[in-house]
Amino acid sequence: MSGGAAVSEVIVVGGGVSGLTTAVVLAGRGHRVRVWSRQPAEATTSAVAGALWWPYRIEPREWVGDWSLTSLRWYEELAARPQETGVRLVDGVHRGERLAALGAWAGELKDVVETAEGLRCRLPLLDMPAHLDWLEGRIRAAGGSVERRTVTSFDEAAAEAATVVNCTGLGARELVPDTGMRPVRGQLVLVENPGIEEWFTEADPASSATTYFFPQPGRLVLGGTAGADDWSTVPDPRTAEEIVARCARVRPEIAGARIIGHRVGLRPARDAGVRIEAEPLPGGGRLVHNYGHGGAGVTVALGCAEAAARLVG
């Protein structure tokens, strides 16, 4: 730790939704927070996310429910200011889902109706570029900073702050190093919205293909895929055609919607599930881990941020 670093200074490494939300929580607890991110927020995996609140592809199950519900209640509050926060409450259907197959957390949901088709719910849907921008604004308003920094070792951050928080997602594979980190590739197609106001999801556990569409401001987001151990960030044209075709089988008007973009994101999955724990750094500092959120980083963002913040002290 350098001579000018205060005990309450924390450096959060990673500028996706987990890193920024953790920084907001820490700033709210009185810490002076600096976020070091290799990429601007709009280039992170979080910015690509379809961003419907729902515990998806995330472990360990015994913690996920509490983390998710903590985040849900926060998003419900933020939805009162959608233009500012990027969070809206939107109706939709999880086709094929049954309450009995979900965890105890599902019993806490307010607006859920089980139908022959599946679960009809009113859930937070986040416009991620807007939400990430809002989070960065909260950090700066609290006296913190968001800096472009490429980190090759946590020692670099430990030289400038007593506490370092690791929110590097897939980057943890090399930085920690943690060989249990692996990508689950998601490809999306963005189209002009032909008038669809509700979201829809249908996941086939036996397939890497999923079907979903999310109405976002200025676009309809179509998905998707869940390709484990696929590192390619280049959109595949045939996959894009298949995504549009699957979504159009649910809502035929999607077939004629003009395509305005393609996106690929690599979900940061971890074999052992989310890691939130602290370890000492050389020189008396502390490294707090908060990574491995798989396909549910948005869903658990605040719950995990608060858990990590408790380890910071």
Q: What is the DSSP letter of 192?
A: -
7 pLDDT band, cuts 50/70/90, is very low
Residue 58 burial by Cβ neighbours in a 10 Å radius (0-12, 13-18, 19+): buried
Residue 3, domain member (yes or no): no
Does 27 fall in a domain?
yes
Please state, rounded to an integer, the average pLDDT across all residues of the chain: 95
pLDDT at residue number 206: 77
Residue 1 lies in a domain: no
Q: What distance in Å separates the CA atoms of residue 64 and residue 44, rounded to the nearest whole number? A: 23
The answer to whether the beta carbons of residues 155 and 282 sit under 8 Å apart is yes
Picking from 233, 254, 230, 20, the residue whose alpha carbon sits closest to that of residue 142 is: 20
Indicate whether 125 belongs to any domain: yes
301 has a pLDDT exceeding 50: yes
Residue 5, pLDDT score: 41
**Looking at residue 130, what is its pLDDT?**
97
Answer whether residue 64 shows pLDDT above 60: yes
**51: in domain:** yes
The pLDDT of residue 3 is above 60: no
Residue 16 has pLDDT above 90, yes or no: yes
Instruction: Read off the CATH number of the domain in which 296 is found.
Output: 3.40.50.720
Three-state SS at 212: strand
pLDDT score of 208 more than 90:
no
Mean pLDDT over 96-100 rounds to: 95
Tens digit of each residue's pLDDT (9 = 90 or more) over 19-61: 999 999 999 999 999 999 999 998 999 999 889 999 987 899 8
Q: Please state, in angstroms and rounded to a whole number, the distance separating the CA atoms of residues 300 and 306.
A: 10
Residues in contact with 222: Cβ distance below 8 Å, sequence separation at least 6, in sequence order: 188, 189, 190, 191, 212, 213, 243, 244, 247, 254
CA dihedral 191, 195, 199, 205 (to 10 degrees): -50
* Structural domain range at position 129: 9-312
How many domains is the chain partitioned into structurally?
1
Residues 114-141 have a mean pLDDT of: 97
Q: Is the pLDDT of residue 183 over 80?
A: yes
Q: Is residue 302 part of a domain?
A: yes
